[in-house]
């Protein structure tokens, strides 16, 4: 995990620091006076060699210091921390919807494999995968926020301050991501259930007279959970940074939107900081999934 | 049929004759309406791409503020946008952009990915370790984040969008190619080829790559869908093509402000993205069932 983060951080730094053009000029504006440009260059440390800047940045990163945002004029770590609740709420709520949908539809479809129900679920899941989420989001906003004013058009409310407003703000974005991610999980649950149900232990259990329901709950679901957990974990990781588009459409002040703001404003520190935090969250979720594996399947062990 | 077919040329040992795959695919199309419809849709798209100037009823860039925000009618099938541009013509011309982005980015990602995977798998050792670590790094950026970063560094242009999405496709092809090299490089026929003095490049291209042509076709079709969606998403975020290009994602983004009074401006370009992505995904799935029935859908 640590090496991945280091490589991601390095790659991000290198990529963003070889941008053609002078950042100080970009910040000050093309018709700025030379002394203003020089002042900005000194302020953001752009007058030092790139290797020094890199090592400095890395050392600061180790201390949890992500630098100062040039466009928002605040410490990046604070900006990121302020955006985390919205992103985490959206990611976990969406994954809850997606998981519930995936398990329900996937097992419904697997138990009737080959039937019309199964075929319809498979096509529906393809539809869920193919809908551009920004388009679905806009359509839902027209329908359920503008035409029928059930949900708010834009924004976010903190859970601790007003749980009801929080839920109303998150309902539509959660639905958009839930449909997309749920489609993936539905297909996966179906495929892994079908695979497990063809195994010898299922036949043995059936031979002993165990009921279908018990076989499914006690044996099959447990084994089928492993691939589902892998992909679910990956998706949660994706969402921590990958809800960028949905955050943008629904005006949710999350990490992804902060990153976009940074990119639009050419705010180096902000972009670097946001990317590193997103990669960190992504790697963290993956580690968590690995730990969960060993709980679900005692056969899996990791060398220390 | 009573017509006797000409004797088939001998194929490589164990390889089923080629016609059977095409026939199997066709049979699946006839049996499965979703597959049939998506095949028809992709054929239609190909026609639209070729004949866009004939099919578009207006110049996609022609502005006329006198006819702004017209709802769909007999003149303007999909209505007009805020500059009075004909949305139907823009959607038709946009098909060229979207398919070009999809096709060339997948081609680029496929070439680079398969190249990396073959090299890593065949040479093993340090080469393998280094190349696959590089692939892991690409995978450490969740979702479309890497493409966003690449475009924001390189600047937005058609070529840069293609490059960014190609990088996004590299890992999957690299892993697939590496896996298949590892599975085949110690088989007898490869040893035999080496024993008669075949060069490494020849062994890879003539004896190993043909084994993965099936999965390559399947993944290329599926990646087309992801790349088209990715390209539209980048444009939606303002990181793809610049206005007034008739790019579907960009059209959705630009129509957002007046979406309540003129929903058609957003609806038709979005629907085009949706149907195109859906068609390529369904087609990829059908190809997988025919070519590689044992593999699991992901």
The domains of chain A are located at 2-62, 82-296
| pLDDT of amino acid A66 | 86
Ranges in chain A, pLDDT < 50: 304
pLDDT digits (tens, 9 = 90+) for B115-155: 999 999 988 889 999 998 888 888 877 778 888 888 888 88
Report helix angle B145-154 to A2-17, nearest 10: 30
Scan residues 47-86 of B and list those with Cβ closer than 8 Å to A.
none
| pLDDT of amino acid A19 | 63
* Total of domains in chain B: 1
Q: Which residue has the higher pLDDT, B221 or B257?
A: B221
Closest chain B residue to A17, measured at CA: B153
CA A255 to chain centre: 10
Q: Which residue has the higher pLDDT, B125 or B67?
A: B125
| pLDDT of amino acid B214 | 83
For residue B97, pLDDT beyond 80: yes
pLDDT digits (tens, 9 = 90+) for B1-11: 444 444 444 44
Residue B86 pairs in a beta bridge with B80
Domain-located, residue B166: yes
Q: How many CB pairs (< 8 A) connect A and B?
A: 128
Least confident of B13-22, B123-132, B233-242: B13-22
| pLDDT of amino acid B269 | 94
Domain-located, residue B3: no
Q: Which residue has the higher pLDDT, B212 or A79?
A: A79
DSSP state of B67: G
Q: What is the CATH number of the domain that holds B239?
A: 1.10.3720.10
A222: enclosing H helix or E strand: helix A221-242
User: Which domain, by its residues, includes B191?
Assistant: 68-282
| pLDDT of amino acid B216 | 87
Report the alpha-carbon distance of residue A25 to residue A17 in Å, rounded.
Answer: 14
Closest chain B residue to A145, measured at CA: B260
Q: Which candidate, B193, B161, B32, places its Cα nearest to that of A118?
A: B32
Domain-located, residue B4: no
Residue from B142, B172, B284, B295 to probe the interface with A (highest A Cβ count within 10 Å)? B142
| pLDDT of amino acid A224 | 79
For residue B29, pLDDT beyond 50: yes
Contact B137 A245 (CB under 8 A): no
Contact B143 A8 (CB under 8 A): no
Report the alpha-carbon distance of residue A254 to residue A237 in Å, rounded.
Answer: 15
Report the alpha-carbon distance of residue B165 to residue B232 in Å, rounded.
Answer: 11
Q: Does A135 touch chain B (CB under 8 A)?
A: yes
**Secondary structure of B91-122 as H, E, C letters:** HHHHHHHHHHHHHHHHHHHHHHHHHHHHHHHH
Q: Does B296 touch chain A (CB under 8 A)?
A: yes
Q: Which residue has the higher pLDDT, B257 or A44?
A: B257
Buried b (16+ CB within 10 A) or exposed e, A90-113: bbebbbebbbebbbebbbebbbee
Average pLDDT, chain B: 84
Q: Does A16 touch chain B (CB under 8 A)?
A: yes
Contact B274 A130 (CB under 8 A): yes
When CB atoms are compared, the residue of B148, B229, B266 closest to A138 is B266
Residue from A135, A192, A246 to probe the interface with B (highest B Cβ count within 10 Å)? A135
| pLDDT of amino acid B11 | 46
Q: Are the CB atoms for A126 and A183 separated by under 8 Å?
A: yes
Classify domain A82-296 at the CATH superfamily level.
Answer: MetI-like (1.10.3720.10)
Least confident of A287-301, B90-104, B110-124, B193-207: A287-301
* Residues B174-196, mean pLDDT to the nearest whole number: 85
| pLDDT of amino acid A1 | 60
Residue from A19, A120, A126 to probe the interface with B (highest B Cβ count within 10 Å)? A126
pLDDT digits (tens, 9 = 90+) for A252-263: 999 989 999 988
Contact A278 B237 (CB under 8 A): no
pLDDT band at residue B165 using 50, 70 and 90 as cut-offs: very high
Domain-located, residue B176: yes
């Amino acid at each position: 995990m640590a090496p991945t983060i280091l490589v991601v951080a390095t790659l991000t730094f290198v990529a963003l620091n070889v941008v053609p053009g002078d950042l100080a000029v970009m910040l000050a504006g093309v018709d700025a006076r030379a002394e203003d440009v020089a002042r900005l260059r000194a302020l953001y440390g752009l007058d030092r060699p790139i290797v020094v800047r890199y090592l400095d940045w890395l050392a600061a990163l180790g201390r949890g210091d992500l630098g100062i945002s040039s466009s928002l004029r605040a410490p990046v770590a604070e900006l990121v921390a302020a955006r985390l609740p919205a992103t985490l709420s959206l990611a976990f709520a969406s994954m809850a919807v997606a998981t519930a949908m995936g398990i329900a539809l996937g097992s419904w479809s697997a138990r009737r494999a080959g039937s019309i129900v199964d075929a319809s679920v498979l096509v529906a899941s393809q539809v869920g995968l193919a809908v551009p989420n920004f388009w679905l989001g806009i359509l839902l906003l027209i329908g359920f926020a503008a035409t029928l004013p059930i949900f708010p058009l834009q924004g976010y409310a903190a859970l601790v301050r007003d749980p009801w407003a929080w839920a109303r703000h998150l309902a539509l974005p959660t639905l958009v991501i839930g449909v997309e991610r749920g489609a993936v999980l539905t297909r996966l649950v179906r495929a892994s259930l079908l695979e497990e149900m063809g195994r010898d232990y299922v036949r043995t259990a059936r031979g002993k007279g165990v009921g279908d329901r018990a076989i499914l709950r006690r044996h099959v679901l447990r084994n089928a959970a492993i691939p589902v957990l892998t992909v679910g974990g990956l998706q949660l990781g994706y969402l921590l940074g990958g809800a960028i588009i949905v955050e943008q459409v629904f005006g949710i002040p999350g990490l992804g939107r902060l990153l976009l703001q940074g990119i639009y404003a050419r705010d180096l520190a902000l972009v670097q900081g946001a990317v590193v935090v997103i990669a960190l969250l992504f790697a963290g979720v993956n580690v968590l999934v690995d730990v969960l594996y060993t709980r679900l399947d005692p056969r899996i062990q990791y060398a220390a | 049929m009573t017509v006797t077919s000409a004797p088939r040329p001998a194929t490589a040992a164990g390889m089923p004759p080629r016609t059977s795959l095409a026939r199997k695919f066709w049979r699946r199309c006839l049996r499965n309406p979703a597959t049939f419809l998506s095949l028809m849709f992709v054929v239609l798209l190909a026609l639209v791409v070729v004949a866009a100037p004939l099919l578009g009823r207006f110049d996609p860039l022609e502005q006329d503020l006198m006819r702004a925000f017209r709802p769909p009618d007999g003149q303007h099938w999909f209505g007009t946008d805020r500059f009075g541009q004909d949305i139907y013509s823009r959607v038709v011309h946009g098909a060229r952009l979207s398919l070009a982005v999809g096709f060339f980015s997948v081609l680029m990602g496929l070439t680079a990915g398969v190249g990396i995977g073959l090299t890593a798998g065949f040479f093993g050792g340090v080469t393998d370790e280094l190349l696959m670590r590089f692939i892991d790094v690409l995978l450490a950026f969740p979702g479309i984040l890497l493409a966003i970063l690449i475009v924001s560094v390189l600047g937005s242009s058609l070529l840069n969008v293609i490059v960014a999405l190609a990088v996004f496709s590299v890992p999957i092809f690299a892993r697939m190619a590496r896996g298949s090299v590892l599975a085949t490089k110690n088989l007898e026929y490869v040893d035999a080829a080496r024993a008669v003095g075949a060069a490494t490049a020849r062994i890879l291209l003539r004896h190993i790559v043909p084994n993965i042509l099936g999965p390559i076709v399947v993944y290329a079709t599926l990646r087309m869908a992801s790349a088209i969606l990715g390209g539209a998403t980048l444009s939606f975020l303002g990181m793809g093509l610049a206005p007034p290009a008739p790019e579907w994602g960009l059209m959705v983004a630009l129509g957002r402000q007046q979406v309540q009074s003129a929903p058609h401006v957003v609806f038709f370009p979005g629907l085009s993205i949706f149907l195109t992505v859906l068609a390529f995904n369904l087609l990829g799935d059908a190809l997988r069932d025919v070519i590689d029935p044992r593999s699991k859908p992901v």
